[in-house]
A and B are shown apart, each in its own frame.
Chain A
Amino acid sequence: MSVMTTPANPKTVTGDPAPEPVLKRLANMQQVWILGVLLVIIVAFSAAAGDKFLSAGNFSLIAQNIAVWAVLGVGMTFVIITSGIDLSVGSVLVFSSVIAAKTMQAVGGDGWSTAFAGVLAALASGVLWGLLNGFLIAKAKIPALIVTLGSLSVALGLAQVVTGGIDIRSVPEVLTDFNIYVKVLGIPALPFVALIVVVLGGILLHKTRFGRYTYAVGSNELGARRVGINVDRHLILVYALSGAMAGLGAVLALAQFGTTTIAGQSLTNLNVIAAVVIGGTSIFGGEGSIFGTVIGLFIPAVLQAGFVIIGVESFWQGVAVGSVLVAAVYVDQSRRAAMLRGSARKPLLSFLTRR
């Protein structure tokens, strides 16, 4: 039988999308339009309250308020990009701060060496919780939601067992002074530490192989396994990173409040997750950025500060943030669906993403 030959020029295939212009690609990124939302909020409050809102002091305060969450948000962004979730960050923060405080009590003194021992203890505690979470998720195949819901409860419970439920207030002075007096380049110490963590996290996520595998695992886990990526090990490391960030967050919280905050972190996990999702990281995995998470943190913080300044009850902040969260996920989903359909139909809110 003769071989059938129908010469076809492969270049003539129709229906291929033309290379997207940079502007359109930018407009399609959720970080970009959520940055627009943030700017609109800032402009609105500035118009309403003027200099009182647009002052360096106000923004310095806002940055102070989100410093701890920003550190947690870095780890959470990695976790959510793998299509996982880490509900335990708040409790691990509490547990780590208790361990750090106990360690510093045991070491004694008010100097940097004491504080350093506390930092190490907090980081070690956070990493261990993260490794445990990661092991149960990757090796025992228990859903991340359940594992971290469990460790949320266990870590907080153990922190209460260790302390008898009473906050430890003996934090070395160098830590609290670090928060109050130290400024780097005009930025208060805690936001500056958070900024460094955010930048390093962004480099790790966007520039290194570790980051690339994080996207790959969230995008197509089976595919990642088939090209030889050690998915289990990677997941364990990602949860360990989230735990380490909770440990570092514990030190920052100790410096900020001068005490452990056993009862004060019950909504931390949800606030951080909300910020990550508002910032364009998809809960279905494979997509997201550290930059988006930072924007996602600023929106609730700016709303709160703005409401206080213009005299609206700050209860409205919850209403506004919740609405933004749901809208963000809706836009994200519509965009994904459009992508899978080959952008045949525009999502309902596409006018927001258009040029």
Chain B
Amino acid sequence: MAPLLEARGLCRSFGHVRALTDASFDVHAGEVVALIGDNGAGKSTLVKALTGNLDLDEGELLFDGRPVAVTSPQQASAMGMEVVYQDLALAPHLNPVQNMFLGREIPRRGLLGRLGFMDDKTMRVRAEEGFRELGGTVRSLTAQVGAMSGGQRQQIAIVRAISWASKVVFLDEPTAALGVVQTRNVLDTIKRVRDKGIAVVLISHSMPHVLEVADRVQVMRLGTRVATLPAAGTTVEQLVGAMTGALDHANTGKEGPA
């Protein structure tokens, strides 16, 4: 079966800095793929390239086995791909419902809708469904998001992403700012999203979390993929070794540079 989303030989330079050099990536439907690597290894750049936030010098993207060009974030959204950015991209003065439908407001029927009036009731009902489905900790749908805890905000951003993503969700460091319990919620959420048949791409520095939720781990170093490891049976030491290059000569033979 062809991967849901596949990248082959992506290259991108910023001046003399080569952010991506022949980078490849693939993720299947209903699979959690972790993307790890040291700072500056090109993880975020790769995600930007996959979601239409970055022009590529070289390389091709395949979606469902067919070559595609993703040129804008809007196009990525239309294809069913959503990103939860590390800064969450929420509007702190709006409430969870307004944030969830921001840019995708449901218009009222008829003339009022064409004049720009919004169907707040329907949006609220749908948002409630989304939050209930995830069993989240967001209690008030009318309070400002800015007044909520980091974990709740994270959850709102994730619910927003998975409500619109029918194919792939990218999570950039979703647990970096969270406490133990909130982290647990996010990891459980990831599993539930995967069980719905959606592909999840997880960027994280936390090796135990990666090994817990991921099916496969793709390791990046110096702008390219250096290893793909199944999470089962892999140890933190092996991951760190692949990230830093310490294992280059004693490679486990699972996969060389792509």
Which residues of A come within 8 Å of B, CB atoms?
1, 3-4, 6, 8, 10-13, 15-20, 204, 207-210, 212, 215-216, 218-220, 222-224, 226-229, 286-287, 339-340, 342-343
Contacts and interface: CB of A to CB of B under 8 A. Distances in A.
Contacts of B117: 207-209
B235 A1 contact: yes
Max count, chain B CB within 10 A of own CB: residue among A17, A210, A287:
A17
Which 3 pairs between the two chains have the least Cβ-Cβ distance? A227-B103, A286-B93, A223-B89
Contacts of A4: 208, 212
A16 B152 CA distance: 9
Contacts of A17: 139-140, 143, 147-148
B103 A228 contact: yes
A342 B149 contact: yes
Interface in B62-117: 73-74, 77, 83, 85, 87-94, 98, 102-105, 107, 115-117
Given A216-B94, A218-B93, A227-B102, 20 more contacts: A1-B233, A1-B235, A4-B208, A10-B135, A10-B136, A15-B149, A18-B139, A19-B140, A207-B117, A208-B118, A212-B98, A212-B102, A212-B118, A215-B93, A219-B93, A224-B103, A226-B85, A228-B74, A228-B103, A343-B147
B181 interface: yes
A218 B93 CA distance: 9
B3 interface: no
Given A11-B137, A207-B117, A228-B74, A212 B146 contact: no
B182 interface: yes
B107 A209 contact: yes
Interface string B140-172: 101110111101100000000000000000000
Contacts of B105: 209, 212
B214 to A, nearest CB: 10
Nearest to B181: A13
B211 interface: yes
A227 B233 CA distance: 39
B94 A219 contact: yes
Nearest to B185: A10
Contacts of B148: 17
A223 B139 contact: no
Interface residues of B, number: 50
14 contacts: A1-B232, A16-B137, A17-B140, A207-B118, A208-B115, A209-B107, A212-B94, A223-B90, A224-B91, A228-B77, A228-B103, A339-B144, A339-B147, A343-B147
B39 interface: no
Contact of A6 (B85, B87, B136, B184): B184
B85 A219 contact: no
A224 B139 contact: no
B55 interface: no
Contacts of B244: none
Contact of B188 (A10, A219, A223, A286): A10
Interface centre among B85, B93, B135 (most CB of A within 10 A): B93
Contacts of B88: 223
> By CB atoms of chain B within 10 A, which of A1, A20, A212, A227 has the most?
A227
